Amino acid sequence: MADLTLRQIRKSYGSVDILHGIDLDIKSGEFIVFVGPSGCGKSTLLRSIAGLEEITSGDLCIDDEVVNDVPPSKRGIAMVFQSYALYPHMTVYENMAFGMRIAKVSKAEIDKRVRQAAEILQLTKYLDRLPKAMSGGQRQRVAIGRAIVRNPKVFLFDEPLSNLDAALRVATRIEIAKLKESMPNTTMIYVTHDQVEAMTLADRIVVLKDGHIEQVGTPMDLYKKPGNLFVAQFIGSPAMNIVPARIETAGEVTAISHIGANKVTVPLATPASANGTEISLGVRPEDLFIAAGADYLFEGTVDYVEQLGEVQLVYVDIGQADLPLVTKLPGNVEVKRSATVRLNANPGDLHIFGTDGCSVLQPQSAHGQTGPRL
């Protein structure tokens, strides 16, 4: 049981600021995933929570107690490293028992806990092996086992699956999800590059960029209602298409014009002052479909097709230099290169972003939420 509170956490190396004031509340038992581009400070933030890095300013609280100066091992936190960091000269058993031996836990208790963890992680057969005689997936499980036996309140993972091959990643991802289910009171914080891991594992995702939090929310929240351009393009694969556009008529519903096609009307209220504002129109590849009637959103020529079997990615040139519109169409639709296609999307699936990159909220959910920021 541990609530984690981050208050204005800053971290600098010398004069270089890495984290610029992170505020975050994590409830006990939550599964939080940090995502963001490489170098944005995910590992730094995780290591600060662990206590491996000292924070420059701000407060880190576990259960309302400030732990800034509490040594890592006293914070009730366990960490699984990307490289596993298993002690190469110790057997699996000794690796798992090390922390407890340091803490002078009784032999019987150590044995009980190690065997219990080994049972859960299917490592019983390997207890006497050295790490170098094990596969990547098995080492990964030992690293998790070493964390479990300490009975931590908070579990930290730094890209734990990045050294595994694709198939093993999927299997281990599911194991981690099950592990979380079996430890409902343990808070877990997980760093990853991988969107699928983030979407499938997280209760809430924290999107970081350049040491700032861009948005925090459930996976579906971030997918459906990205708070800004960055999150919109970061979550979802392939990334959301962004087309420059202009508000033609503001009002109860908003009429928008953009390059390459018709005026569209989206069910979103905008103030009259927004008339004529330059905006960005966002639409996800999977929300686009071939227009059936005369109504369409984009018209362009097919530039390139990537057939993936179940689906195909169609790159349509709508007159935006170097930036084709990516469309995800069912694999069985016949699309020819250089053909002209007309694409449409439900108005409810369109996203509008102001010039500052902030979302003007998604049309359907616009009413009753915070007003548009333009």
Partner 1 sequence: MSATVAVGRARHVNVWSVIARTFLYSFLICLGVVVIYPLIWMALSGFKDNAQIFGDPFALPVHWAWNNYVQAWNQGVRGYVTVSVLVTVASAICTVLISAWTAFGLTRTKMPAKPLVVAIVLGGLMLSPTVAIIPLVKMLQALGLYNTYWALIILYTAFRVPFTTFLIRAYMLDLPGDLDEAATMDGASEGQIFWRITLPLCRPIIISCVILHVLFAWNEYLFAMIFTSGSDVQTLPVGLTSIMATHGTNYAVVFAAMTISALPIVIVFFAAQRYFIRGLSEGIGK
Ligand X SMILES: Nc1ncnc2c1ncn2[C@@H]1O[C@H](COP(=O)(O)OP(=O)(O)OP(=O)(O)O)[C@@H](O)[C@H]1O
Q: What is the contact surface with Mg ion in residues (CB under 5 A)?
A: 43
Q: What is the spatial distance between Cα 175 and Cα 167, in angstroms, rounded to a whole number? A: 13
201-260: which residues touch partner 1 (CB under 8 A)? none
User: Which one of ligand X, partner 1, Mg ion, none interacts with residue 89, CB within 5 to 8 A by kind?
Assistant: partner 1
**DSSP secondary-structure letter at 132?**
G
The site that binds ligand X (CB under 6 A) totals a number of residues, namely: 12
Locate 186 and state its tokens: 């343990």
206 binds ligand X, rule: CB under 6 A: no
4-33: which residues touch ligand X (CB under 6 A)? 13, 16, 18
Using CB under 6 A, which of the segments 36-44, 163-171, 238-246, 287-295 binds ligand X?
36-44
163-202: which residues touch ligand X (CB under 6 A)? 193
HSE of 267 in the Cβ direction (CA atoms, 13 Å)? 9
Structure-derived torsion over alpha carbons of residues 303, 222, 351, 319, reported in degrees to the nearest 10:
-20
- Kindly write down the DSSP assignment for every residue of 23-66, as one continuous string: EEEE-TT-EEEEE-STTSSHHHHHHHHHTSS--SEEEEEETTEE
Q: What is the spatial distance between Cα 77 and Cα 75, in angstroms, rounded to a whole number? A: 5
Q: How many CB atoms lie within 10 A of CB 312?
A: 18
50 binds partner 1, rule: CB under 8 A: yes
39 binds ligand X, rule: CB under 6 A: yes
Which of residues 99 and 136 has its CB atom nearest to partner 1 in the complex?
A: 99
42 binds ligand X, rule: CB under 6 A: yes
Which of residues 87 and 304 has its CB atom nearest to partner 1 in the complex?
A: 87
- In this chain, which of 21, 29, 58, 99 binds partner 1, going by CB under 8 A? 99
For residue 267, whether the previous peptide bond is cis, meaning omega lies within 30 degrees of 0, is: no
Using CB under 8 A, which of the segments 86-94, 126-134, 206-214, 247-255 binds partner 1?
86-94
Q: If we measure between CA atoms, which residue out of 85, 82, 67 comes closest to residue 157?
A: 82
132-151: which residues touch partner 1 (CB under 8 A)? 146, 150
- In this chain, which of 5, 56, 81, 296 binds partner 1, going by CB under 8 A? 81
Tell me the closest approach of the beta carbon of residue 171 to Mg ion, in angstroms: 23
Long-range contacts of 63-70 (CB under 8 A, 24+ apart): 63/1, 63/2, 63/3, 63/153, 64/3, 64/5
* Gap between the terminal Cα atoms of the chain: 42
Q: Indicate the SS3 state at residue 261.
A: coil
Locate 184 and state its tokens: 């409902």
43 binds ligand X, rule: CB under 6 A: yes
User: Which one of Mg ion, partner 1, ligand X, none interacts with residue 170, CB within 5 to 8 A by kind?
Assistant: none
Q: Which x/- pattern, by CB under 6 A, does the window 136-165 give for ligand X? A: ------------------------------
- In this chain, which of 12, 20, 29, 52 binds partner 1, going by CB under 8 A? 52
Q: Is residue 190 within 8 Å of 201, Cβ to Cβ? A: yes
Closest residue to ligand X using C-beta atoms? 43
Residue numbers of the site for partner 1 (CB under 8 A)?
A: 50, 52, 71-74, 77-79, 81, 83, 85-89, 98-99, 102-103, 146, 150
